[in-house]
Structure 1
Amino acid sequence: MLKSGVCSVTFRQLSAAEIIKLTVDAGLDGIEWGGDIHVPAGDIATAESVGRMTREVGLCVTGYGSYFRCDDAAAIAPLAASARALQAPSIRVWTGRKSRRDISSGELDSLVKVIRLLCDAVPEMSINSEFHNNTFTDDAEGVLELIERVDRSNFKTGFQLYQHLDNLNNAKLFKPYLGNVHVYNYDHAPLSECAGLWQQLIAEFADQDRALLLEFVQDNAPENFLRDAAVLRQLLAEYK
């Protein structure tokens, strides 16, 4: 089943309690809690508290949105501990700091090693790579190559729109390896303006359980989030 939700990084200016209330008001299913502000890696008490607050109102934790660049094996233990305390089913990570076209073979070997260590440290969770510029997974070729190199069943890819790429084709390519999806429109425009594209994409994503998470909203405004959440709920209605 497809779940709806929001990334807490959408509202860095709000407290965890305020984000939870806003998510309930929006009629969404859950929250991906970010590691930059709301649930810092290694702060177990905060992770436990935020996870409990989320579940107490009937929401689910859809994942832990870390900013781990997979470049420091020593950071794995606190990251895994926070994800477990949050009771997150997945951890979002960033695949280094360089494009696939710029990384050296030694840097790639190190990247793969650290990702494997993280995958093995939390076998009950999926590790979802950011599909993002200035990382190894900044295009479809990088995503598929890294999945093959890491060779772990719990290593997945995330998905988000790229303005100059074939998004529908990427969705088809990523489908066997896809974790959660970040939902937004380009330049933080209203989601309704690209609802047709998202309708096609969601049809590709509907074969497995995953979360579709609002990430950017116009002016970072709660009222615009509520507007986009209504569009997302409508898009997902036939898959509930």
Structure 2
Amino acid sequence: MLTGLAVHGQAHEAAALFHDMWRSGLKPDGVTFTAVLTACRSMGLVTEAWEYFDNMEAKYGVAPTAEHHACMVDLLARCGYLDEAMAFIERSPADPGASSWGALLTGCAIYGNLDLAESAARHLFKLEPHNSANYLAMMSLYEQHQMFDEAESLKYAMKARGVDARPGWSWTQVGRSVHVFEVDGGSPPYPETPEIYGEMSRLVSQIRMVGYVPDNGCAAPTSSPRRRRGGNCKMCCADRLC
């Protein structure tokens, strides 16, 4: 029940249930605290999460595991406390795993912190050398900072390592039917594609009429930008991160 409340963002209800369990004599275990910390993460309850984490062993006799550390890093990073998340990783008693570094990278991508993202990526490229999600996250962050040479160098590193970037998928439900689409257009043409794009065009026209201005900051240029001085960037960025 705790996990169900946590997954659905019912943090306060999860906390109330946790304390009811404790008062009734039920001793929490590691799974219990994973659920509670996940609930705090879903609502951004940083203070409450720290209280649970700090009391795990002292009050409840449950030693924090790598999973609990990753939950805290994810919470701090998603709430914008990136320096605190990094400090938490550095003082962790055990070597942080890919989950912690991945959570930090996700937070850095949300808030555009390139320096910490590169630090997280260096560890992830060693821990998960064939996980395309880490490369793609860094490429997107480089493009947001108009660092297109660096993004290109990571694409080169992916090919050199044989990392397969699987296409993304999207789906929508109409009535009782689920319609699935491949993001890059590699799937067979959908019968109603013209109608879909026509509706998209109509919606774009409407939102522009009310003042919407698209943010093209993370869009890659259509032509190759002028390279920075300092040699072949395809290798320098890959060497720095990988």
- The TM-score normalised by the length of structure 1 is 0.32
Q: Which has the higher helix share?
A: 2
**Greater RCO, CA 8 A, separation 6+:** 1
Q: Which has the higher strand share?
A: 1
**Larger-Rg structure:** 2
TM-score, structure 2 length as denominator? 0.32
